[in-house]
Copies of this chain bind each other. A is one copy, B any other.
């Protein structure tokens, strides 16, 4: 079943924002919203919003707008948030622990089954109620529990070898926090959070602020 038309990443990256604002509206018990109103909230143009949504279907009603709850749940479905995933985190340091405790994991349907680390000081401990295991057991654990998502919070040097093990063991999505561009096959999805690139960008903006 092929997508009729490939949706661009520019569009995809706006969807979570729509979803978030619609969730806010839902909490406020607001029933309907127009593309114009959504434009004011998100800062995207109304035209762009309508274009974006129409990549996935006609969710609105002419002359009326969009039903908040309907659009919210449609977007949730499009983003795959309803579908549960089994996940693990490799690298149980500060960042790994922070991500493990991050509420957004469950919101995205991620079920965290284990941490992995190579430090003997960490192995055997638990964070929340999730155990830290020896990274040597990574491959067997992934296969045994049919893990789908791997989260990498290791130092940069280890990231590629961890990714290799993940891929070889059958994972098909990686959320990568290491400062590396991981090489993986096309059928494995990678989403990077490159903190250094983000921080350097801020530095650039500040450096060039006075010249604008």
Contacts and interface: CB of A to CB of B under 8 A. Distances in A.
Interface of A: 1-3, 12-13, 15-17, 19-20, 42-43, 78-81, 83, 85, 93-95, 97-99, 101-102, 104-105, 107-110, 148-149, 172-173, 175, 179, 181, 187, 189, 191, 193-212
22 contacts: A12-B204, A15-B200, A15-B201, A16-B197, A20-B179, A20-B197, A42-B181, A80-B204, A80-B206, A80-B207, A85-B206, A93-B98, A94-B94, A97-B98, A105-B199, A108-B199, A108-B200, A108-B203, A110-B199, A191-B198, A191-B202, A191-B205
Stoichiometry (number of copies): 2
A212 B173 CA distance: 15
A191 to B, nearest CB: 4
A137 to B, nearest CB: 24
B94 A3 contact: no
Contacts of A3: 208, 211-212
Contacts of A105: 199
Contacts of A13: 197, 201
Interface centre among A93, A101, A202 (most CB of B within 10 A): A202
A195 B102 contact: yes
A191 B199 contact: yes
Given A94-B98, A98-B97, A81 B209 contact: no
A209 B154 CA distance: 26
